[in-house]
């Protein structure tokens, strides 16, 4: 069996090649589903795998199910057990990404959520950097606006909502940037295509509130806690586009992005164009915390 061969599918652990969804499924035709992205970190010293804030991710998945009215008869605890078993079956011994998804298997023409026909699946794959966490990245303000709370709620993770992210990220890449920054319909900074954004101005951390059409972020919450630990002031408030251009430092954070410095926005250099001191300090603590090396936050790291 190759690495991460098994997936959890329709109540069983099966080879990935056997996990197939019908072309008629509503999940495929209408994007009816919701998902999570979770990181697991392998520790060579004690030969253990630690999944970062796994219970929080599954609680958020169940919230997404509630928002979408897609009930699934599993608790967060049961989902954690399935995930543990999946990692054991695949003998995961590397930093990895876990992707749980709840999707609508109903084969019918009409975009409507129903009580029945929702399935839970999970796969795991090795993953290192999603963005360049050491060298930093460039970003542009997207011409695409973030989907609003009364369109496709961005505080959840609905499958179909990621068309919005894909449009913005594809446009950014086509224009030579690494990532996109969304504004809300009102024109204030929201988040990246798959990460939250923090600015540093005069030593103070600033980030848009969760009311600015962004995901209820787990890494965002982690960064807030770590910043507190470092004695940094964090202000959660509306952020105007032009504030990005005068920030001393900017970084993205997220499960995939971890803590990634932003070197430039819209062809303006941020700070001196390299990772700033506040970002560096936070990133160092973040990488220790996710690996269970910070006593106070060790409870975030679930041992498989």
Ligand X SMILES: Cc1ncc(COP(=O)(O)O)c(C=O)c1O
Report the distance separating Cα 7 and Cα 176, nearest Å.
Answer: 35
Please, which residue, 207 or 219, has the CB nearer to ligand X? 219
Dihedral, 149, 75, 33, 144 alpha carbons, nearest 10: 30
**Does 219 sit near ligand X (CB under 6 A)?**
yes
**Does 218 sit near ligand X (CB under 6 A)?**
yes
**Does 275 sit near ligand X (CB under 6 A)?**
no
DSSP-based three-state secondary structure for 128:
coil
SS3 content of the chain, % helix, strand, coil (to 5): 30, 30, 40
Assigned token pair, 157: 């993770």
**How far is residue 217 from each of residues 1, 9, 56, 154, 226, measured CA to CA in Å?**
35, 27, 10, 10, 14
**Does 96 sit near ligand X (CB under 6 A)?**
no
Smallest separation (angstroms) from ligand X to the CB of 104: 20
- Note the helical H segments in the chain: 26-30, 54-68, 76-89, 162-174, 218-229, 241-245, 277-290
Please, which residue, 98 or 106, has the CB nearer to ligand X? 98
**Does 217 sit near ligand X (CB under 6 A)?**
yes
Q: Which residue is catalytic, options 24, 157, 288, 296?
A: 157
Smallest separation (angstroms) from ligand X to the CB of 17: 27
Report the distance separating Cα 293 and Cα 50, nearest Å.
Answer: 11
Please, which residue, 106 or 197, has the CB nearer to ligand X? 197
Find the part of the chain contacting ligand X (CB under 6 A) among 132-140, 187-195, 242-250, 284-292: 187-195
**Does 37 sit near ligand X (CB under 6 A)?**
yes
Q: How far is CA 255 from the centre of its chain?
A: 4
Report the distance separating Cα 214 and Cα 195, nearest Å.
Answer: 9
Smallest separation (angstroms) from ligand X to the CB of 151: 14
Smallest separation (angstroms) from ligand X to the CB of 195: 5
The number of residues that bind ligand X (CB under 6 A) is 14
**Does 215 sit near ligand X (CB under 6 A)?**
yes
Residue 288 annotated to the active site: no
**Does 227 sit near ligand X (CB under 6 A)?**
no
Find the part of the chain contacting ligand X (CB under 6 A) among 10-18, 73-81, 211-219, 237-245: 211-219
Element (H, E) at 50: strand 48-52
Find the part of the chain contacting ligand X (CB under 6 A) among 81-89, 191-199, 227-235, 276-284: 191-199
Chain contacts with ligand X (rule: CB under 6 A): 37, 165, 191, 194-196, 214-215, 217-220, 254-255
What amino acid positions are annotated as catalytic residues?
A: 157
């Amino acid at each position: 069996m190759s690495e991460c061969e098994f997936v959890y599918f329709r109540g069983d652990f099966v080879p990935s090649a056997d996990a197939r969804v019908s072309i008629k499924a509503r999940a495929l035709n209408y994007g009816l589903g919701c998902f999570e992205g979770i990181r697991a970190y392998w520790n060579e010293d004690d030969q253990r795998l630690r999944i970062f804030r796994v219970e929080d991710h599954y609680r958020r998945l169940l919230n997404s199910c509630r928002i979408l009215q897609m009930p699934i008869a599993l608790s967060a605890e049961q989902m954690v057990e399935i995930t543990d078993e999946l990692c054991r079956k695949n003998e995961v011994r590397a930093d990895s990404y876990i992707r749980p998804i709840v999707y609508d298997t109903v084969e019918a023409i009409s975009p409507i959520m129903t009580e029945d026909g929702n399935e839970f699946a999970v796969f795991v794959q090795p993953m290192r950097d999603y963005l360049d966490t050491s060298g930093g990245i460039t970003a542009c303000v997207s011409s695409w606006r973030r989907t609003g709370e009364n369109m496709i709620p961005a505080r959840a993770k609905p499958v179909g909502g990621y068309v919005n992210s894909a449009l913005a990220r594809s446009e950014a890449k086509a224009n030579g940037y690494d990532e996109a920054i969304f504004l809300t319909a009102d024109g204030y900074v929201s988040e990246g295509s798959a990460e939250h954004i923090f600015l540093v101005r005069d030593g103070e951390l600033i980030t848009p509130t969760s009311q600015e059409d962004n995901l209820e972020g787990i890494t965002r919450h982690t960064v807030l806690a770590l910043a507190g630990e470092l004695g940094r002031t964090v202000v959660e408030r509306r952020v105007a586009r032009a504030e990005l251009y005068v920030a001393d430092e900017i970084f993205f954070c997220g499960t995939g992005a971890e803590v990634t410095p932003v070197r430039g926005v819209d062809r303006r250099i941020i700070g001196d164009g390299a990772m700033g001191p506040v970002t560096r300090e936070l990133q160092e603590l973040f990488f220790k915390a996710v690996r269970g090396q910070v006593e106070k936050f060790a409870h975030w790291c679930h041992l498989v």
